[in-house]
A and B are shown apart, each in its own frame.
Chain A
Amino acid sequence: MIKEIAKGLAFTLKKMGAHPITVQYPEEQKPVSPRHRGRHILHRYDNGLERCIGCELCAAACPVGCIYVLAAENDPKAPISPGERYAERYEINLMRCIYCGYCAEACPTEAITLGPRFELADYRRERTVVTKAELLESWPGFAQAQGPPSPVGAGADQTGREELDPGVRPRAAWAAQENMLDSESAPHPGELGVPVDVPTVIEPRTGKK
């Protein structure tokens, strides 16, 4: 019995000298896994066009009903998305969302995915309803700036989609987008590269589309 007690004491003494395995949040952060479901990201194609075509499949698939999509017709001379429609308003109530990923599974163009960002607390309730302005990635690769770097690689934040949409020629589409947005250059990380005249809706979802 004495030997077992001594062995136990020696073990704990050894552990006292070992380095703790605690991650001192928030100074250090554990990297999230590649399939981590955090805050949503509305993606673009690499030519700058938005992937979202305003089909509202994500809103239909959502078990909670926290997505609001308002579709509008694409102007053929200055298309926002490579299709007939685009999402004029796209809002998600982050407090209702259960981060299940059904919207990402339902999306036909892989426009909406869930990214690595999980620090979503706020002091004001209205700030937890994110609008398209906050969801849209500003340029391809914006998602990497949102959360802690993933150990797997930079492309992991975007669920590994690689194929380009062959549609409109990239530079023309981007130029069209630029003119529409009325901005002088590529968006900065701080701003989300969103047209400021897109109105945001703050009232809760009332059931009317």
Chain B
Amino acid sequence: MTVLFAVVIALAAVSSLGVVLSRQTIYSALSLVLTVSMLAVLFLLLNAQFLFAVQLIIYAGAVMVLFVFIVALLSPDSEDRPTLDLRAVIGILGIVVVTSLVFVAARNGITYNTNGFHGVAVGSANNPYHAFSFPQDAVNNAGNVQTVAGQLFTNYLLPFEITSMLLLIAAIGAVYLTRRSSQ
């Protein structure tokens, strides 16, 4: 399992580097597809199977298809190989700092461990649909999809509805903006 984890992480890191460092734009877009797919596999390794499938369908299979279509058809000019100037050095330093912060936070328990994700308990503590703690057995028994759905439609209902409205606005806006002006 650790070997698989290491391979996935390595591929994700390499492909995300590829997004930034590729000379051709289409390779950047495809590297982003690979990065997103590797993130999906990470979700699977963390036993979040629903998120894995959804990430593949929506992110890698729809959003990135759109990106790839646009890049391939509109062919933005490929840039020169990035040079190591002051901007690049500051960027790399920034990445190093942020990554270290994430590491420190992860090691100090602000993530999922065997005791669950601790926070304020809302509703009945024994019901995995309405609780904030997700022991692995409870999640597996209830079902991955059911747990996510339970949280999404009860605790996080408002953000869910707002996001749906946002997507609807975006879709309507796209249709409106690309309409042919009638003579």
Chain A directly contacts chain B within the complex, with at least one CB pair under 8 Å: no
